[in-house]
Amino acid sequence: MEERTLYKDGVRELISLSKEVSEVYRQMHEMTELLKTCNGESVLFDTFYLQELIMKKDGLACMYEQLLVQICINNCFDMKSWKTGQYSYDRDEVASWVDEFNTRYQANVLLEDIVKSLRFDYGMDIGLTRVER
């Protein structure tokens, strides 16, 4: 029963997020058109408001990348079977699945981000190595 509830809650959240992202996309499109008009008429805005939007860009990009990592894991891994010992994964399999995910969805999820999440979020050790600086 718990798995079914998790699924329903997850679907509800995905639908909600999808609607909210669509609304933000629409608002950004409207603001872009409005700024084109304002720029054409040399209407200047207080830089505080503009800088606020620019500052939020990095945070949104970071959260989107984290969301893509979790979507990739959800799409490619059977974590319950791994936890019970039915499945085991090696680095080459993980790399192959991440490449397939990136190709299918024109994403740019990094293998190292997946490996880090598998290790630190799920306790799955797939030979995480430190990259030389």
Give the structural domain span for 26: 1-44
Check whether residue 126 and residue 87 sit in a common domain. Answer: yes
- CB neighbourhood size of 124 (10 A): 19
Tell me how far apart the alpha carbons of residues 30 and 98 are, in angstroms, rounded to a whole number: 35
Check whether residue 130 and residue 65 sit in a common domain. Answer: yes
Tokens standing for residue 100 = 């397939």
Tokens standing for residue 81 = 């079977």
pLDDT in tens, 73-95: 999 988 888 888 888 888 899 99
The answer, as to whether pTM is greater than 0.85, is: no
Quote the number of domains for the chain.
2
